[in-house]
Structure formats: C-alpha cells, structure tokens
Copies of this chain bind each other. A is one copy, B any other.
Amino acid sequence: MEKILIFGHKNPDTDSIMSALIMEDLEKKMGSNVLACKLGNVNKETEYALKYFNVNEPITIDNLEEGQEVILVDHNEFAQSANGIEKAKILKVVDHHRICGFETSEPLFYIANPFGCTATILYDMYLINNFEISSTIAGLMLSAIISDTLLLKSPTTTPKDENAAKALAKIANVNLEKYGLAMLKAGTDLSSYTPEQLLTLDAKHIEIKNLKTIIAQVNTVDINDVMKIKSDIEKAMNNTINSEGLDLFILAITDIINNNSQIITLGNSSHIAEKAFNVKLEDNTAFLKGVVSRKKQILPVLIENA
C-alpha cells in the first residue's frame, strides 16, 4: 500500500515541519501508513529545534501524482500546497488558518481551530485520543508553538497555546523562556542568506481580491541589521514582482525582542498597505508599532482595505 503523505505549506516554517512530524506520529498510533514530508528547505530556527530534540528532517517532495492520498497540516489553500494538489485525494486537514481556495469532491476529516499554532490542535488530538506524548514529540510541539506565537507574545496566542506550551515544556524537560529565546534567535541568523533566499524563508502567496500578493516575513533581533541591505532586498523583490506578475509584495521585518515590524512594500498596489496600516510609505518602507502577526495584524487589514 502506498504511503499517505503528510505535509505543511510551501516555504515551510517551524509549525509546518513539526506538525507534519507530529501528525505522522499520531497517525501511526492510529494504525495508518503515513510519511511526513516537506515542500521546501527548513529554516535555521527549525534546524535548531530539530537538532535540539535529535529528530531528522522530513523528506522533500515536489509534485503529487494523481490520486495520491495526502494529509495537509498548517495550511489549506491550494496556492500554498504541493503542486498537483488539485488531483490528490485529501483525506484530512489540520489547520489554524482561514479557509480559502480549498475544495474537495468528497467528504473528509477537517479540523481547524483559531489557535496560535497547528501543533496546539494536535496536542488536543493526543489528549482526546488518550495517546501518550513522548518527550521528543513534546519538544516538536513546543517548538512549533514558540515559533508561531513568538514565545507566547504574538496577538495570535490563545490560552490554549499557553497552557499547551507550559505542559509541553515539562514533558520535553526544557525551560520554556530559555529554550524559546534560543530557538527564536537561531532563526534570526540571516547572515548566510542571499536577499533572494531571505524573501522565500517564510513567504505566503495569496490573492487579495484578485491582486496577486506575496507577504514575506523575517524575524530579527535588530531591524537595522536587515535594513542595511534594503536596496539589495528591493532589487530581489522587484525581480519577483516582474517574474511572477505580482501586484503587491510586502516584506515584514519583525523584531522578536521588542515586538514591532518594519515593512518594505513594492508593487503597483502598494498604496493598499498605506491605507491598511494608516502609514505613509517613505522610500517604500514604514514602521508598524506592535505588529508581529501576519495572520492577525497584516492579512485581515489588507483584505479589508483592498
């Protein structure tokens, strides 16, 4: 029997990688023949977490064959999924995003919760099924929650995420604050990336009222560090705008210590960002005080103002 493939979104973040591995463990406990995969390279934050808990990266897949059975975690939009997803058989989805650009021809298992992290939903699924959570799986869950909630400081954080993180830190036998900050800092080491790579580390491709848009995000401990190469970043952004026919490209450079973001915004529809965030772009950039969450503080206001 061919294995059911489990994967998160393109340009995988820590939640997408960990949730695939966690779901693999959960499904195996249920007796399914599954394989965790990924749709792109892991970032340095994820690399740090996997190394810390001594877990191998999932394998990378690209195209799906027609009829391939799959389980999606941490995404549902086909635009963010594997190539060929339209022809795959989607058995399950576990996600914490809005539902959009997704459809099936048959009933399926779908669980979404407006929690800060997919791993928090998976944590619930272990409890409901009375499955034991190993210290390794707890470490992966915890890493995903820390990543998606910026150590429980993002406005996407719910009490569910907080409670899960505290319980999981105990099972994984780590200090939540200390491990969390070390993991987030590992992700801010951008030194080895070209501007092009930096833009694809965590990039969401979305259509906002027919406008082809990318919203990319990088975490840093010092916004100025990234802004030093602003002109190189802009060149790379413009290349992508031209090659992909984008209307809007926003890069959010997020300060994980002080919880603010600097955006660089390019494309013919960049006026939408000015309206949405009530700022004036100067030299294509603006400072967004208190903004750290793409899902909660960037995407909805863009949709509202498009």
Of A111-119, A239-247, A279-287, the one with at least 4 CB within 8 A of chain B: A111-119
**In the complex this chain forms, how many copies of it are found?**
2
Please name all residues of chain B whose beta carbon is closer than 8 Å to the beta carbon of A159 when the two chains form the complex.
Answer: none
Of the listed stretches A11-19, A96-104, A226-234, A267-275, chain B binds A96-104
| Contact pick for A97, options B101, B107, B300, CB 8 Å | B107
Nearest chain B residue, comparing its CB with the CB of A96: B107
User: Is there contact, CB below 8 Å, between B114 and A106?
Assistant: yes
Task: Please give me the residue from chain B that is nearest to A110 by CB atom.
Answer: B112
Give the complex CA separation of A98 and B105 in angstroms: 6
B108 touches A112 (CB 8 A): yes
The interface size of chain A toward B, counting residues with CB under 8 Å, comes to 24
A113 lies within 8 A of B109 (CB): yes
Q: Is B102 within 8 A of A99, CB to CB?
A: yes
Q: Distance (Å) between the CB of A208 and the closest chain B CB?
A: 10
Dominant secondary structure of chain A at its interface with chain B: loop
A96 vs B109: C-alpha distance when bound (angstroms) = 8
Q: Does A295 have its Cβ within 8 Å of any Cβ on chain B? A: yes
Residues A109 and B106 in contact, CB atoms below 8 Å apart: no
Asked whether, in the complex, the Cβ of B108 is within 8 Å of the Cβ of A114, the reply is yes
B99, B106, B128: the one within 8 Å of A103 (CB): B99
Q: Which of A99, A101, A303 has the most CB of B within 10 A?
A: A99
What B residues does A110 contact at CB under 8 A? 99, 110-112
| Residue numbers in B under 8 Å from A128 (CB-CB) | 128
Contact indicator B105/A300 (Cβ below 8 Å) = yes
A73 vs B221: C-alpha distance when bound (angstroms): 45
Instruction: Give Cα A300–Cα B104 distance, bound, in whole angstroms.
Output: 11
On chain B, the residues within 8 Å of A300 by CB distance are: 105-106
Q: Which 9 A-B pairs have the closest CB atoms?
A: A107-B114, A110-B112, A100-B103, A98-B104, A105-B303, A98-B106, A98-B107, A99-B104, A109-B113
